[in-house]
Every structure is written in structure tokens, then in C-alpha cells.
Amino acid sequence: MDKDIKYYLAGPMSGIDQHNIPAFDEATQRLRAQGYTLISPAELDGGAFRKEAMKDSPDMAGGATCLGHTYGELLSRDVQTIADTCGGIILLPGWHKSRGARLEAYIGLAWGLRFGTYHFGSVVALSNRFVAGVVAKELVGEQP
């Protein structure tokens, strides 16, 4: 994977204990130590979102809000971040089960971004064709 571009870290958050922030933090720390430049949704909005999200884990997709923002507003912000600043997306385990991460992957495909998956502390490159296949299966309701 090319370390000269900025990557967005995509993965499941809604409905997971502490919004899966510990997994995002662990991946972010390890990958930055390996020289990757990353944007993690767990770091957007600074400490305010992190503090609120770590208190409890409402199902944001179910209509709950965090810091006065709806799921749609937070996802819109994340998609805009990808569009404005990223050349690739690194997918965390379970991304294919997350509506938001699948949308982020779909957007990345539309823009021709590069993809990788985080696996045991490192990144493995994924073909856009593979990512598209997973996203397409989810769109028609099949499990990958």
C-alpha cells in the first residue's frame, strides 16, 4: 500500500460498545507508527465526540444523536472528509456489516480511491473489484 497518500479509516461504529473507538484507536496508532497518514472518524470533532461516545453506545443508525448530530449528519461529514482529503480507504474488520462503512466504500469506489484492509496490525491491499463485489452483495441483501 502506498504510504504517500492519506487514508480514511472505515469500519463499524453504531451499535458496538463505545462505538468501536478502541479498535479505531489501536489501528490508527499501529498504522501511523508504520508511516501511514490516516484520518479516523473517532478523532473527528476532537475530544468532545470521543468523550460522549465512550459514555454509552446508542444505536446512532436507530435515530439517536451524539453531540446533537444525527447519524446522517455524522456520516455526511465523514463522506465529505473522504472527498476533500483522502486518496484511499483502509477497512477495519466487520466493515461489510456496517451501513456507514459500506457507504464510505461505495463513495471510494465511485471516486476511484485505493483500498486496503487492516488485518493483525498491518494493511493488505484490496482490489476495487473485490470491494465492489462486497458492496453490491449488501445492496441486494446477500451476505458476503
- Going by their DSSP bridges, the two strands 69-70 and 65-66 should be labelled as antiparallel
Q: What is the pTM of this model?
A: 0.84
Name the grid cell of 36: 501511514
The more confident residue out of 133 and 15 is 133
pLDDT confidence of residue 89? 97
CATH for the 6-139 domain, from 1.10.760, 3.90.550, 3.40.50, 3.30.1360: 3.40.50
> Band of the pLDDT at 113, cuts 50, 70, 90?
very high
pLDDT confidence of residue 84? 93
| Res. 51: pLDDT tops 80 | no
CA distances from 138 to 32, 35, 53, 54, 123 (A): 30, 32, 27, 29, 23
Closest by CA position to 5, among listed 41, 30, 39: 39
CA distances from 121 to 34, 50, 105 (A): 10, 22, 21
pLDDT confidence of residue 52? 63
Name the grid cell of 25: 484507536
pLDDT tens figures, 54-102: 555 555 555 555 656 677 787 888 899 999 999 999 999 999 998 889 9
**3 state DSSP class of 9:** strand
